[in-house]
């Protein structure tokens, strides 16, 4: 049977690995976008999951003026479980411990008053990592949970971290589509979507997985919409430029031994819309100092 082509060979597709593009695809208030997000979460977690609600943790993707530069997708499934999904094109060296920190915060944010600890819902942190690997083995997919590593006894897995390292897909991408698992198909889709040499395989993958086809259709509309495409590209460029300026200013302040230089960097970052946690990661200042600077 011939697979219907979703993407023409000449289609100029925008890169879904850019975190703001990723978020724009998966958080639109449409059936296609929600179906795509449910398909992605189901493939990574390894069970059927329907995403019902996307939590309002920042302004909508269309609102770029007042939004913070955060591109995670915080959502809730039909059975009340919480999922945080992120695309990180250029992960940092501290990415593993950062993921542990955020899944703990997400889990602990549940309302326990008047309930038993057994009522706590499962919480999942999903990180799709782009141009840099974080773990030394050759596996592209990892699932982490609390356990005794000597006796291999788990605490129960109420919090789980999933990582997908796109830079490790070389051999997987050579598989035939029918030999790929769902997580592998999504990963290859993300990594090779804009590669013209892989267009036939990407079309085959989209034809084999409804969620991927939905995501591809949303991305296609964005790619063909000149206004939205220009807005998203401009937003991404502004983010990279701001981060580069802040890092340069921080290094200059540290080299000159001036705490005030680092604090001014923090003020600049806060004025640009960076969150307290992002400023902490960029400057190394403690959270109380950053809160004080925010109020000045």
Residue-wise pLDDT for 135-173, tens only, equals 999 999 999 999 999 999 989 889 999 999 999 999 999
Query: What's 12's DSSP letter?
Result: -
pLDDT of the residue at 30: 92
More confident residue, 258 or 124: 124
Say how far apart CA 46 and CA 181 lie, in whole Å: 10
Reported as a single tens digit per residue, the pLDDT across 234-286 is: 666 656 666 666 666 666 655 555 667 778 778 877 877 788 887 887 777 88
The Cα 294–Cα 222 span in angstroms is: 36
In the chain, the largest separation of any two C-alpha atoms, in whole Å, equals: 67
What pLDDT score does 32 carry?
Answer: 94
Q: Could you give the 3-state DSSP secondary structure of residue 143?
A: strand
Distance CA 290, CA 296 (A): 10
Cα 170 from Cα 100, distance rounded (Å): 27
Does the pLDDT of residue 179 top 70, yes or no? yes
Strands (E), 145-272: 147-148, 153-154, 159-165
Mean pLDDT across the chain:
84
Give the model's pLDDT for residue 64. 36
From the list 4, 5, 21, the residue with the least C-alpha distance to 13 is: 21
pLDDT at 12: 86
Amino acid 54: pLDDT: 85
Joined together, the tokens standing for residue 2 give 């011939």
Residue (of 51, 56, 41) closest to 78 by Cα position: 51
- Among residues 166, 184, 219, 177, which one has the least CA distance to residue 200? 177
State whether residue 73 is helix, strand or coil.
strand
pLDDT greater than 60 at residue 77: yes
Give the pairing of strands 73-77 and 51-54. antiparallel
Q: Give the per-residue pLDDT at 58.
A: 47
Residue in the block written with tokens 């997987």: 172
The band of 130, judged by pLDDT with boundaries at 50, 70 and 90, is: very high
* For range 67-73, the mean pLDDT: 55
pLDDT (0 to 100) of residue 291: 86
Range among 16-20, 36-40, 52-56, 257-261 with highest mean pLDDT value: 36-40
Question: Would you put residue 157 in left (φ > 0), alpha (ψ -120 to 50) or beta?
Answer: left
pLDDT surpasses 70 at 107: yes
What tokens were used for 163? 């990582």
Question: Is the separation of the CB atoms in 74 and 57 below 8 Å?
Answer: yes
Percent of the chain exceeding pLDDT 90 equals 51
Residue 231 has a pLDDT of 64
Looking at residue 269, its pLDDT comes to 79
Instruction: Sketch the domain layout of the chain as residue ranges.
Output: 19-224, 232-295
């Amino acid at each position: 049977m011939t697979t219907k082509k979703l993407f023409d060979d000449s289609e100029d597709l925008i890169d879904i690995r850019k975190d703001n593009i990723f978020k724009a695809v998966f958080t639109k208030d449409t059936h296609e976008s929600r179906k795509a997000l449910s398909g992605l979460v189901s493939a990574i977690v390894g069970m059927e999951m329907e995403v019902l609600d996307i939590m309002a943790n920042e302004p909508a993707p269309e609102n770029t003026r007042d939004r913070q530069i955060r591109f995670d997708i915080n959502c809730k499934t039909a059975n009340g479980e919480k999922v945080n999904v992120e695309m990180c094109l250029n992960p940092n060296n501290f990415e593993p411990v950062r993921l542990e920190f955020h899944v703990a915060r997400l889990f602990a944010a549940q309302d326990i008053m008047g309930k038993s600890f057994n009522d706590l819902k499962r919480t999942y942190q999903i990180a799709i990592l782009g141009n840099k690997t974080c773990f030394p083995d050759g596996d592209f997919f990892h699932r982490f949970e609390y356990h005794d590593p000597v006796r291999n006894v788990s605490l129960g897995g109420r919090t789980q971290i999933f990582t997908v390292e796109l830079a490790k897909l070389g051999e997987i991408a050579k598989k035939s589509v029918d030999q790929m698992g769902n997580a592998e198909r999504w990963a290859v889709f993300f990594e090779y979507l804009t590669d013209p040499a892989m267009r036939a395989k990407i079309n085959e993958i989209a034809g084999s997985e409804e969620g991927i086809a939905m995501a591809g259709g949303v991305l296609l509309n964005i790619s063909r919409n000149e206004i939205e495409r220009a807005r998203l590209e401009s937003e991404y460029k502004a983010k990279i430029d701001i981060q580069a300026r802040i890092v340069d200013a921080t290094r200059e302040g540290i080299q000159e031994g001036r705490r005030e230089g680092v604090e001014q960097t923090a003020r600049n970052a806060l004025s640009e819309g960076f969150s307290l946690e992002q400023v902490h990661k960029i400057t190394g200042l403690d959270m109380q100092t950053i809160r004080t600077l925010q109020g000045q």
